[in-house]
Amino acid sequence: MVNPALQSAIEAMSLDERLELVAYIESTVESVPIEVTEEQRTMIRSRAAELRADPSIGLTWDELKARLAARRA
């Protein structure tokens, strides 16, 4: 659960500041090993198989970036 004072501070940030915060947080956890349960592995494999069977259900990185950019505009 997020500390309410921290949550308020984050909500007061501009979108660019929040995205910078996300990048910072991501950089602090990149070196920490993430434990994935067998249930999660199964779900990942299933979703990957669905995407391979029907690539139209997913987005390319370029499409995702464009959608995110459009939301920022």
Q: How far apart are CA 21 and CA 13, in angstroms?
A: 10
What residues does each domain of the chain span? 4-72
Q: How far apart are CA 46 and CA 28, in angstroms?
A: 29
What would the mean pLDDT of 11-28 be, rounded to a whole number? 93
Q: How far apart are CA 40 and CA 35, in angstroms?
A: 10
Question: How far is CA 62 from its chain centroid?
Answer: 15
- Asked if 10 contacts 18 with a C-beta cutoff of 8 angstroms, the reply is yes
pLDDT of the residue at 29: 85
Give 57-69 pLDDT, tens digit per residue. 999 999 999 999 9
Can you tell me which residue has the tokens 């390319």?
60
Q: How far apart are CA 73 and CA 69, in angstroms?
A: 6
pTM above 0.75, yes or no: no
